[in-house]
Amino acid sequence: MVDRVTLYAAPTTVADADEVAAWLDDRIDAEVDVRDRFLDVHRTEDLPERFAEARVTDPHDPDTGNTMLGIVRYEERALEHPEREGGVLYDGHAVQSALNAAIPESETGLDRAHVALLDRAVGTWGDHDGRWHKRVAVLGQPAIVSVPGLYEAPAKPEAYYKEKQRHALLSGDAPPREVLEEQVEGDFLVEDDPRTTEALAGYVLAAVHLLETGEAFCETEGCRLYDAHYQADLVEAQLREPGFCEEHARLYAE
């Protein structure tokens, strides 16, 4: 039984942890509190090296890690100045293990869920196709909910990638969100999307739901506990009504 949920903010992103906590508080029978960035609250000396070890260096190689001094120094700077971090994919399970080790023993019981909104891109290795896959969430203790993963993990319409490439060839940079939305048919989320907070809430609930029931994501498309692989499905699940399938509506409908 989960009695307390601790949600950690990601201040370098547009995600509003307090708003997610309020949404969660309306739906679960547990105390919900918000803390600052996990990597600040539970900082340990070995975190830079643990992040260096978790780096994905080849999209088609399951082995990770580069612990050369320069890389570890980069990870030290990224901890101190997270706004400068970007463009690196990390093994989500390795990061989760590092964060778990940083939680004080007095807070590690399964009656308490730790959910870290993270400003890093995380992935998991796919044995079925031999490559890394970006993820929005890696559930467990603590659960990791990746804000950049929300934009990058579920696939966007094919026209999005074509338009982005075309714009980059012409101007040398990524097209603004309004240009993409005008040129590409279909609904999807992009970096700093104003719908970020609302879209993340279902993933945070999924983290609590796993500890409470042993069930991970819902198999029903359109449910807020559904782990979408396409942006259109993510938008449908997280931003459209009804919010839950019949089974989970009985548990979590407001």
Domains of the chain: which residue ranges? Answer: 4-252
- At 161 the pLDDT is 82
- At 151 the pLDDT is 94
Q: Which of 79-83, 91-95, 130-134 has the lowest mean pLDDT?
A: 79-83
Query: Is residue 4 within 8 Å of 31, Cβ to Cβ?
Result: yes
pLDDT confidence tier of residue 184, bands split at 50, 70 and 90:
confident
| Confidence (pTM) | 0.92
- At 85 the pLDDT is 80
What's the full length of the chain, in residues?
254
Give the highest mean pLDDT range of 106-110, 172-176, 229-233.
229-233
- At 78 the pLDDT is 94
Across the chain, what does the average pLDDT equal?
Answer: 93
Q: What is the pLDDT of residues 190-209, one digit of tens each?
A: 889 999 999 999 999 999 99
- Whether the per-residue pLDDT at 181 is higher than 80: the answer is no
Cα three-residue angle 51-118-86, rounded to 5 degrees: 65
> d(Cα 171, Cα 101) in Å, to the nearest integer?
45
CA 245 to chain centre: 22
Q: Where are the beta strands (DSSP E) in 45-168?
A: 89-91, 112-118, 121-126, 131-135, 137-138, 143-146
The CATH architecture annotation of domain 4-252 reads 3-Layer(aba) Sandwich (3.40)
How many other C-beta atoms can be found within 10 angstroms of the C-beta atom of residue 230?
15
pLDDT confidence tier of residue 74, bands split at 50, 70 and 90:
very high
Taking alpha carbons only, the member of 42, 50, 18 closest to residue 107 is: 42
